[in-house]
C-alpha cells in the first residue's frame, strides 16, 4: 500500500527533525520526506494539527504468553501496544515456561508473526529457569533472536552469576536488563517505606532495597565491561548512583516507568491494588528526582513495565494482591500530561525516550523515520483530552491506576510497515 501523510508536525529525534513536512510510504518503507509531496496512487492521510512520530519502541513489557494467557496473550498485548502507539515491543521472559531456550525464543517470534500486528521481540532469561543459579545458554538465545537478557520479576542475587552473565553477554554486545531488588530488604513489603506506609499500616519496601542492588550491578559492570540496563528506576538514590556510573564511564543505561514520574505513595491511601507494583510508588521527592533524571539524560528510556493481571489477582485483600499494572495504552498520554505539558521535556526529548533511545540500546532497526526505514509511524493529537475508563483498554486486563484520570495526548493512528494497525474509534 502507498501512503502519503500530509500536513503533520513530523518529529524524528534520530534525524533531528521537527517540522511540518509530508511523508511518502511505499511497500512498507518510508521513501521520501519533504514539503508538498505527491505519490501516484497513494492513500492520503491528513495529519493537520497532529504530530507524526516514529512508531514507539517498548523495551519492557509482559505479554504473559505462554502460561498465563488468562492475563494477556501476544495478540491482546499487541492490540494494546498498537492502541498506545507502539510498533515494537520487547517481552520479558518470566512466562511459564520461561524464555530460556532457543525453542522458546522462536515460539515468541513465530506467534508474533502469526498475530501480525506489531513486532514482538523476545528477551531471554539471564539464568536457567529464571532461578538465579546458573546462566542461560546466552549464545543460543542471541542466535535465536533474543534482543537482551533479563530475569525481570526477580533480581539476580548471586553476584558471581551476574558477573559471568555480564562477561558472556559482551561477546554478543547484548544488554543485561536488571530488576534491582534486595529480597531481604523488600521481603513482605507492599509499598514504599515512609510516612504513608506507617499511616496505612502496611509493611514498607525501603529505597535501599533498590539502591543496594544498583550499586552492586554498577560495580560488576565496571569490573566486566559489560552492558547493564537498570529497569524501572524509582528512587533519588538510584538516580545518583546511575549518574555517577555514567560519569565514570560504566556502560550503564536506565529506564523509568510512567507511573514512577506521575504518581507517588500518597496514591495508596485508598488501598486500591491498582497502585501496587514493584518497585513501589515512591515519595514525592523521588518523583521529582526521576523527572530531573529524565530531563538531564541520566535516565535514557521511558518503558511501561506493562504487567497485566486478571481481576482475580487484584480484587483481593491488599496484602495478597499481585504486584504490577498495565501501561501500554496510557504511556503516551501520561508522558504528554506530566512531562511535555509541564515543560519537563520538550516534545523531541520525550519522543526520543520512546523511539530511538530504546532502539539504540537494543540495536534494533526501529525508532526512526529515515528514508528506507520500515514505515512504523505513530500519529497523535497532543491537545486531545480523554477520560480513562475501564472500557478504554484493549489489553485483556484492566489493572491501571489511571482509571478515572483525564489525560492529554491521544493516539489517533498507528502504522506498522505501511499498514494501519490502529485507528482511533476503529
With residue 9 as reference, give the H or E element that holds it.
strand 9-12
Collapse the DSSP code of 17 into the 3-class scheme (helix H, G, I; strand E, B; otherwise coil) and give the result: strand
**Strand ranges (E), 239-398:** 252-256, 301-302, 377-387
Q: Which residue has the cell 502519503?
A: 4
Active site residues: 305
Distance CA 45, CA 417 (A): 15
Dist CA 321 CA 52 (whole Å): 39
Residue 419: beta bridge partners? 416
> Residue 193: which residues within 8 A CB-CB, separation 6 or more?
204, 205, 206, 207
Furthest C-alpha separation in the chain? 67
| Dist CA 407 CA 260 (whole Å) | 16
Query: Coil, strand or helix: which one is 147?
Result: coil
Amino acid at each position: 500500500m502507498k501512503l502519503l501523510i500530509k500536513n503533520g508536525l513530523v518529529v524524528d529525534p534520530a534525524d533531528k527533525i521537527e517540522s511540518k513536512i509530508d511523508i511518502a510510504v511505499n511497500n512498507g518503507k518510508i521513501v521520501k520526506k519533504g514539503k508538498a509531496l505527491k505519490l501516484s496512487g497513494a492513500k492520503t492521510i491528513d495529519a493537520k494539527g497532529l504530530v507524526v512520530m516514529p512508531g514507539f519502541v517498548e523495551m519492557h513489557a509482559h505479554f504473559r504468553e505462554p502460561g498465563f494467557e488468562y492475563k494477556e496473550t501476544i495478540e491482546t498485548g499487541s492490540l494494546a501496544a498498537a492502541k498506545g502507539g507502539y510498533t515494537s515491543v520487547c517481552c520479558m521472559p518470566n512466562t511459564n515456561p520461561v524464555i530460556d531456550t532457543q525453542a522458546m525464543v522462536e515460539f515468541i517470534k513465530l506467534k508474533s508473526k502469526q498475530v501480525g500486528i506489531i513486532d514482538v521481540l523476545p528477551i531471554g532469561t539471564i539464568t536457567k529457569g529464571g532461578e538465579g543459579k546458573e546462566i542461560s545458554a546466552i549464545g543460543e538465545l542471541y542466535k535465536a533472536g533474543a534482543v537482551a537478557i533479563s530475569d525481570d520479576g526477580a533480581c539476580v542475587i548471586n553476584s558471581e552469576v551476574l558477573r559471568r552473565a555480564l562477561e558472556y553477554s559482551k561477546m554478543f554486545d547484548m544488554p543485561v536488563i536488571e530488576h534491582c531488588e534486595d529480597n531481604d530488604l523488600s521481603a513482605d513489603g507492599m509499598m514504599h517505606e515512609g510516612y504513608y506506609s506507617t499511616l496505612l499500616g502496611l509493611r514498607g519496601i525501603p529505597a535501599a532495597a533498590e539502591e543496594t542492588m544498583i550499586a552492586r550491578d554498577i560495580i560488576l559492570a565496571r569490573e566486566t565491561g559489560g552492558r547493564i540496563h537498570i529497569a524501572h528506576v524509582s528512587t533519588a538514590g538510584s538516580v545518583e548512583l546511575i549518574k555517577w556510573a555514567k560519569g565514570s564511564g560504566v556502560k550503564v543505561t536506565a529506564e523509568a516507568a510512567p507511573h514512577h514520574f506521575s504518581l507517588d505513595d500518597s496514591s495508596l491511601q485508598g488501598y486500591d491494588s491498582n497502585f501496587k507494583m514493584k518497585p513501589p510508588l515512591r515519595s514525592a521527592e523521588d518523583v521529582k528526582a526521576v523527572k530531573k533524571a529524565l530531563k538531564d539524560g541520566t535516565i535514557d528510556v521511558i518503558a511501561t513495565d506493562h504487567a497485566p493481571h486478571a481481576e482475580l489477582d487484584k480484587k483481593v485483600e491488599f496484602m495478597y494482591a499481585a504486584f504490577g499494572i498495565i501501561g501500554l495504552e496510557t504511556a503516551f498520554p501520561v508522558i504528554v500530561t506530566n512531562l511535555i505539558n509541564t515543560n519537563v521535556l520538550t516534545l523531541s526529548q520525550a519522543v526520543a525516550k520512546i523511539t530511538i533511545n530504546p532502539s539504540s540500546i537494543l540495536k534494533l532497526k526501529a525508532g526512526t523515520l529515515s528514508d528506507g526505514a520500515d514505515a512504523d509511524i505513530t500519529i497523535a493529537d497532543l491537545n486531545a483530552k480523554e477520560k480513562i475508563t475501564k472500557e478504554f483498554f484493549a489489553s485483556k486486563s484492566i489493572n491501571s491506576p489511571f482509571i478515572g484520570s483525564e489525560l492529554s495526548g491521544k493516539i489517533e493512528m498507528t502504522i506498522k510497515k505501511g499498514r494501519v494497525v490502529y485507528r482511533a474509534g476503529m
